[in-house]
């Protein structure tokens, strides 16, 4: 059996190399061949993951943050042969690991590899890209591009909230049209979030009903509000009761088509995607992931 480790050396405050010896020790009990691939630039992780599919590897281990995991998933998705995926979280937020209850401490995450316990997990497809966590549209989502690496290191998930709050104070609601499996929604919104998991930006209660393999996107459309009224949604967000608010449209759907008459860009797992419109769907149970 063969395993490939895809390592982002710049993740985990540049301590990623410290974990290599430990992970090789955990894998040697099961895999005769272990290859280590280190990323140097954007796109490397996806290319390595695709290489593992073509060469019929049995497992791929992503060592990095959510950005590295996203690339690895883009390399594995819809390949004829898909190795099992392991995640050693070394990033700031690590939403996908949180949603799967994978330990956030790297050495603990490495220890579960020896157990070989796999779980089928959904991923999403938006146009020609794949995602594992969330899509977002709106000025709040666009504000996330302004978060610097220094802010992420210093404030963690709070950095995204801080930039988002600024956008609420100065930004405008956007006009969107949303087609889903139960109909259509049109109107003005501050933000649309379509979550595959219960953890978004480090907030693990955003979509409490979301399961990693329920075959659904959990869509929250926060309607146009005054700032004081928007502030009242924060307790609902923290308690996982956002869907119960009269100011939020909540939709469960296996697919989503979103368009707008104005130029807006979709945020895919925290990264800037393509301009609207977009089509998204769930690939149900598409990947097998190592869990505890």
Known catalytic residues are: 271
β pairing state of 217-223 and 174-180: unpaired
- Cα–Cα distance measured from residue 166 to residue 78, given in angstroms and rounded to the nearest whole number: 39
Q: What does the block give as tokens for 150?
A: 């220094």
- Cα–Cα distance measured from residue 245 to residue 267, given in angstroms and rounded to the nearest whole number: 24
Please tell me what DSSP assigns to residue 53: H
Which positions ≥6 away from 215 have C-beta within 8 Å? 122, 254, 282, 284, 285
- Cα–Cα distance measured from residue 190 to residue 204, given in angstroms and rounded to the nearest whole number: 21
* β partners of residue 275: 265
- Cα–Cα distance measured from residue 163 to residue 115, given in angstroms and rounded to the nearest whole number: 40
Which positions ≥6 away from 266 have C-beta within 8 Å? 126, 135, 136, 137, 141, 258, 273, 274, 275, 276, 278
Which residue, 43, 116, 131, is CA-closest to 85? 116
Which positions ≥6 away from 286 have C-beta within 8 Å? 77, 78, 82, 120, 121, 122, 123
- Cα–Cα distance measured from residue 201 to residue 133, given in angstroms and rounded to the nearest whole number: 10
- Cα–Cα distance measured from residue 273 to residue 132, given in angstroms and rounded to the nearest whole number: 14
Cα–Cα distances (Å) from 288 to 113, 209, 212, 235, 254, in that order, read 13, 21, 11, 35, 19
């Amino acid at each position: 059996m063969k395993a490939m480790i895809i390592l982002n050396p710049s993740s985990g405050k540049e301590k990623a190399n410290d974990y290599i010896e430990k992970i090789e020790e955990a894998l040697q009990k099961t895999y005769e061949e272990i290859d280590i691939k280190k990323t140097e630039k954007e796109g490397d992780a996806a290319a390595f993951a695709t290489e593992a599919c073509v060469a019929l590897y049995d497992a791929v281990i992503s060592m990095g943050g959510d950005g590295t995991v996203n690339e690895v998933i883009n390399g594995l998705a819809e390949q004829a042969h898909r190795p099992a995926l392991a995640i050693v979280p070394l990033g700031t937020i690590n939403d996908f690991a949180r949603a799967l209850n994978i330990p956030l401490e790297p050495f603990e995450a490495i220890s579960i590899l020896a157990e070989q316990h796999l779980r089928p997990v959904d991923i999403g497809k938006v146009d020609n890209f794949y995602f594992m966590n969330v899509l977002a549209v709106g000025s709040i989502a666009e504000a996330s591009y302004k978060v610097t690496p220094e802010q992420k290191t210093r404030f963690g998930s709070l950095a995204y909230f801080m930039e988002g709050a600024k956008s609420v104070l100065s930004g405008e609601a956007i006009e969107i049209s949303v087609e889903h499996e139960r109909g259509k929604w049109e109107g003005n919104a501050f933000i649309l979030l379509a979550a595959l998991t219960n953890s978004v930006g480090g907030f693990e209660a955003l979509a409490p009903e979301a399961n990693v393999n329920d075959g659904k996107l959990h869509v929250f459309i926060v309607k146009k509000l005054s700032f004081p009224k928007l502030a009242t949604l924060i307790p609902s967000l923290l308690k996982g009761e956002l869907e119960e608010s009269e100011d939020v449209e909540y939709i469960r759907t296996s697919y989503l088509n979103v368009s707008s008459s104005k130029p807006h860009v979709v945020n895919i797992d925290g990264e800037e995607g393509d301009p609207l419109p977009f089509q998204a769907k769930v690939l149900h149970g598409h990947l097998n992931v190592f869990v505890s």
